[in-house]
Structures are given as C-alpha cells and as structure tokens.
Amino acid sequence: MAGIDGKVVAITGASSGIGEATALLLAERGARLVLGARHVDRLDDLARRIAVAGGEALSVQADVRRREDVAGLVGAATERFGRLDVLISNAGSMAVSRLDDLRVEDWDLMVDVNLRGVLNGIAAALPVFRRQGSGHFVHTASTAAHKVVATQAVYAATKTAVRALTEGLRQEAGPDLRVSLVSPGITHTDGVGAGGSPEVTAGLLAMRDAIAMPPAAVARAIAFAIEQPAGVDVGEIVIRPTAQG
C-alpha cells in the first residue's frame, strides 16, 4: 500500500507542535487519523478542524506513560477503521536542566515519556501489525541522539535510546513491517524546554525564536517516510534548521 491516501494513522502527542502539524498534513493527503494526547480538548478541536476540511479524525485521550492508554489508542483505530497502518510515536518531554540541579522528577518524566512511551507503542501496535502482515512504526527522536550538549544529558540519553530501540526493531521487523526514525533539530513548538529549569529554558526559547524551523517541516519529513512503497523502508531522516550547529 503505497502513498498516504486511505491509510489509518495513529499519532501520539498530536495536540500541538509536530504532532498537530503532522495530523493536518496527513489528513490533507487523505489519511484517516486517530489522535492521541493528554489534552483532549485540544484534540477535539483538531479533529473538528480536520473534519471541516473534509478529513476524518478520531480523538482519544492518551498518556503515553500509561500502557493501557496507548493500547486504547491502537484499539480505537482498529475498532473504528478495522486496521492500523502507521503508528507515529511523537509524544515527548524536553524538561532539561543541568545535572547539578538534581531535578530527578524531570529525569523520570523524560525517561517515561520519551522512551517508555515508545515502548508502550511497540507493545500495543506490534501484535496488530503482525496479524495484518503490514504496518509502519514512525518514532520521533532528535538531533540530540547524534550530538550531546550540556544541560541536555538526560534528554539526549532518552533520544539516543529511542534511536537504538528503533534500529533494533527495524532489524527484527522482517520484510512485512517498516520502521522509521525522524530526528528533528530545534523546532518552533511550545514543548521546547517545557518544564525544565528556568535558566536553561530561557536560553532554549531564545534559540527557538531565533532559528527554529516550523513543525510543518518535520511533518513533511514524516510524510515522506510514510508515502514510500511498501517495500521501501526509510530508516532515519535527520532534519534541522540550516542555522543550527
């Protein structure tokens, strides 16, 4: 099944930023969407906007830290549409700080959302994809999986782990499933530095406002991976602003 038109796509972290932009682009190209995030009011608004534009989207409240919520998202897709073609694990936390600050709750949050959330997606969707004999995992990582900078040690560790996990999944997936990683650089979203230490967050926001690329740029990279023919697997796309070092 090549292209995007008609595919059933579930997206975590869909209420804003990269997830929202991806939902809008894929809906425009004919995908049927199941949107997951914690903030159901924003999800419902997004689903309405997609419907007004002639698309089809279902919103499901889902916290990726909860295995049962991600299973519910996948279950909603198969119940509503009879199948799931793509799971985009996009939810993330960038609550960054210096290690000396010992913000251990933020460390736990990043591990639980960025890594455990992806694992929960695999646990929910892999059996469905095996039964169907087809399916596509798309994971959002970061350029932090390639380059570690001060104040982002834990964030980079989680994204590096997602990169390793994605490659391991690709090797085990076999010829019928596809596995892709999209690693964005700094992107103009509300999630940049959210929940992190005020000093570090202020610096990141200044960088975001100066050089960040729009979420739509990342959405186009995700769409590129999805629209390839069934036998073509886009392993990883690294996308960043030209001004980012």
Annotated catalytic residues are: 155
HSE of 100, CA atoms in CB hemisphere, 13 A: 2
What DSSP string describes the chain? --SSTT-EEEEESTTSHHHHHHHHHHHHTT-EEEEEES-HHHHHHHHHHHHHTT-EEEEEE--TTSHHHHHHHHHHHHHHHS---EEEE---------GGG--HHHHHHHIIIIIIHHHHHHHHHHHHHHHHT-EEEEEE--GGGT---TT-HHHHHHHHHHHHHHHHHHHHH-TTEEEEEEEE-SBSSTTTTTTS-HHHHHHHHHHHHHHPBPHHHHHHHHHHHHHS-TT----EEEE--TT--
Nearest to 82 by CA among 149, 119, 128: 128
Judge contact between 196 and 97, C-beta under 8 A. yes
